[in-house]
Amino acid sequence: MPRVSMTVNGRPVSGEVEGRTLLVEFLRETLRLTGTHVGCDTGQCGACVVHVDGASVKSCNVFALDLEGVEVRTIEGMANPDGSLGPIQAAFQQNHGLQCGFCTPGMVMTAAALLAENPSPSEAEIRAYLEGNICRCTGYHNIVKSIQAAAAELAAGRVAAE
């Protein structure tokens, strides 16, 4: 079987894959990074969202073999260096933006991508951006609130840094 090498959460990794092996399978089965979830088989639910070279990608929709040399970031790479919750993760906990936790990794990764593109999104912009992520528990109310809170927190951090 062919081999693929990439960087995942800052760590160089490689493994044997079939041509049909999806990135999410490589992450979950080969690397045993089970924080990235599979909620559907049609690219709809967004539970598998990760970042590939900084862009948010549904990892059930790309082949691992096509990703030689890329940098992947998953939910396991979102905490602060000291292991505490990163600002988006902390905002989800503070605002009860998760219940069963299954869609949560994808939601956090999508939220991070949104806030990188648009640091202070409106509620409508947040809701539109979440179109590709389904949550069955929260009714999205507290996910939206969490992302608004994370945006404010990140903005405050930028002001403090300046």
User: Contact residues for other proteins (CB under 8 A)?
Assistant: 18, 20, 28, 32-42, 44-45, 47, 74-76, 78-79, 85, 89, 92-94, 96, 98-105, 108, 123-124, 126-128, 130-131, 133-145
In this structure, what token pair is assigned to residue 149?
Answer: 């809170």
Minimum CB distance to other proteins smaller for 43 or for 161: 43
Query: How many Å apart are CA 26 and CA 74, to the nearest integer?
Result: 12
d(CA 99, CA 119): 25
Joined tokens for residue 41? 């088989």
- In the complex with other proteins, which residue's Cβ is closer, 82 or 162? 82
Closest approach of Cβ 114 to other proteins, in Å?
A: 11
CB of 147 to other proteins, least distance (A): 10
Please state the closest distance from residue 21 (CB atom) to other proteins, in A.
9
Of residues 45 and 154, the one with the C-beta less far from other proteins: 45
- State the nearest-atom distance from the C-beta of 95 to other proteins, in Å: 9
Closest CB to other proteins among residues 56, 104: 104
Which residue has tokens 């991070």?
112
Q: How far apart are CA 136 and CA 139, in angstroms?
A: 7
**Contact assessment for residue 50 and residue 57, using Cβ atoms and an 8 Å cutoff:** yes
On whether the CB atoms of residues 3 and 16 are closer than 8 A, the answer is yes
